[in-house]
Structure 1
Amino acid sequence: MYVTYFDEVKAQPSQDQNYYFVGGICVPMDKIMEIEAQLNQLAIDLFETAELTPETCFHARLIHFKKGPFGNMDFPARLAVLKRLTEILANAPVKRIYVAIDHEKLKAKHKVAEIAFAHFCERVELAMEKDERTILIGDLDNQEFKNMIADFAKYRTNGTPWEWGIRITSIVDSVHFARSHHSRMIQLADIYLYTVSHRFGSRKGGLADAYAKILAEYDLFPTRYKVWPQG
């Protein structure tokens, strides 16, 4: 049994970031506490507590832009945090999945979130072996969460919403949501999407350049992925 934790990153064309990402990690249930322990130890090292609060939350955007609990950390310290998180992610026995939808090439731009989530559900389904099952847990801060609950119910009944869609049989129950600061696994899914979006090359500046060198040290190739539309 797996638990799939996921998050999303919106497209920001004004900042040369044209992709809407949905992605996450499929974690074997018996490995969750082991991975949590590593993230909690990092929290203790940085904040002297592993309590799950906004003040101990590993959020890539906050680390990158020196915000929130990382507001007093200098460049080398924040880069070191990103490296430790990336190392934990790379060594974790998880399935990594992402979808990148090119907002600029999409005709129905108002449906970008729906399309990305449907493709993500397909990739999760395809990542599961015949006898494997998973549930989905997303970030409650995602503004699309109500639509995702309704859409996923349709996918389980009718398959994904296109002619070449597939049946969803390995993802059980509904899609669930939790606040990211209450789940180390959702935080790690956020870090994974940071690594994915970073490879698409939209970030600029000293930290981005330094992190690109760190990222090159680790194998984070996805188990399943989709980049669409092409061409």
Structure 2
Amino acid sequence: MFRLFIDESYQHDHYYVAGVLLDEEQSEALESRLDELGENLRIRNGWETSPEFHGHALMNGLDDWKDLHGKFGASISIYQKVMHAVRNSGARVYLEGVDVARLNARYKYPDSPHEVALRHTLERVNEYCVLQGEKCKVIADMVPQQEDFNEAIQGFTRVATPGFLGQKLHAIDGDIEFVDSRHSRGVQSADMCVYILRRHREETGASASAQKAARRLVKSLGDAVVHQRKWLP
């Protein structure tokens, strides 16, 4: 069975969800690599605990990464190591986004952009898993509306998802498992992927150095990124 780790990244005008798809062996390999990297960082910096890999916090010197505040080069180096770990594990990375303003303008009662991006991500992953003849367990960071998401996803295993290309999510196994991201290296990897992929696509007003860093980190993911799209309703 495949495991799909998902997380989201957004600003006012756009919302993205990324999924990192791995088989059991790949998942264990990625977790091991990130555990080793986290432990090395803990020892080197004299931290009490291994850090949580979180894109926004790492790049802004927050939370577990406050000791790196202002040390842009060090943050980029760590970020790149995580991207290499994702790529070298054999993961498949999916990115789906939605233009929030257009979504709200098109529909009188639109679904939440999170649900829309999540649904589109699951559709793409479902297509691949069906071809492989495998089921997929979905693991995500905890969110306030998680019960609503599970109810919707369960419905889509019985009837098709909305839209003219709707499909039944036959390969999605059971409810989404919502976990504390601090305890899931897989969810952390999805967070790191979605944050930098969104920044690369959307942060056109960022400084030249920030844009260069985003390009470098996305390049580090390489062909692990098998699908990326922003829906313009």
TM-score normalised according to structure 2 size: 0.86
Is 2:206 the counterpart of 1:209?
no
Deviation at 1:11, TM superposition (A): 2.9
- Quote the residue 1:151 is aligned against: 152
* Structure 2 residues not aligned, in runs of 5+: none
Deviations 1:167-217 (A, max 9, x none): 111111111110100100100011110231022131624662341342364
The 10-residue stretch of structure 1 (37-46 or 84-93) with the greater mean CA deviation from structure 2: 84-93
1:24, 1:190 within 8 Å by CA — same for their partners in 2? no
1:139, 1:180 within 8 Å by CA — same for their partners in 2? yes
Q: Please report the RMSD computed on the Cα atoms of aligned residues, expressed in angstroms.
A: 2.3
- Quote the residue 1:20 is aligned against: 15
TM-score normalised according to structure 1 size: 0.86
Is 2:111 the counterpart of 1:116?
no
Distance 1:24 1:225 in 2: 10
Indicate how the Cα distance of structure 1 residues 33 and 111 shifts in structure 2: closer, same or farther if over 3 A, else same: closer
Indicate how the Cα distance of structure 1 residues 195 and 123 shifts in structure 2: closer, same or farther if over 3 A, else same: same
Q: What secondary structure does 2:19 align onto?
A: strand
Q: Aligned runs of 1:14-93 on 2, under 5 Å?
A: 18-48=13-43, 56-73=51-68, 74-93=71-90
Higher helix share: 2
Deviation at 1:32, TM superposition (A): 1.6
Runs of at least 4 residues off by over 4 Å: none
Number of aligned residue pairs = 221
Indicate how the Cα distance of structure 1 residues 206 and 25 shifts in structure 2: closer, same or farther if over 3 A, else same: same
The 10-residue stretch of structure 1 (115-124 or 211-220) with the greater mean CA deviation from structure 2: 211-220
Indicate how the Cα distance of structure 1 residues 36 and 55 shifts in structure 2: closer, same or farther if over 3 A, else same: closer
Indicate how the Cα distance of structure 1 residues 103 and 76 shifts in structure 2: closer, same or farther if over 3 A, else same: same
Deviations 1:49-93 (A, max 9, x none): 9xxx98620000100111011111122211211111121122221
Is 2:99 the counterpart of 1:99?
no
* Structure 1 residues not aligned, in runs of 5+: 13-17
- Quote the residue 2:135 is aligned against: 133
1:101, 1:227 within 8 Å by CA — same for their partners in 2? yes
Distance 1:6 1:146 in 2: 16
Deviation at 1:40, TM superposition (A): 0.8
1:126, 1:224 within 8 Å by CA — same for their partners in 2? no
- Quote the residue 2:199 is aligned against: 198
Identity of aligned residues (%): 19
Distance 1:110 1:159 in 2: 16
Deviation at 1:166, TM superposition (A): 0.5
The 10-residue stretch of structure 1 (88-97 or 182-191) with the greater mean CA deviation from structure 2: 88-97
Indicate how the Cα distance of structure 1 residues 166 and 139 shifts in structure 2: closer, same or farther if over 3 A, else same: same
The 10-residue stretch of structure 1 (208-217 or 86-95) with the greater mean CA deviation from structure 2: 208-217
Indicate how the Cα distance of structure 1 residues 8 and 54 shifts in structure 2: closer, same or farther if over 3 A, else same: farther
Distance 2:145 2:208 in 1: 33
Distance 1:41 1:150 in 2: 37
1:3, 1:136 within 8 Å by CA — same for their partners in 2? yes
Indicate how the Cα distance of structure 1 residues 95 and 76 shifts in structure 2: closer, same or farther if over 3 A, else same: same
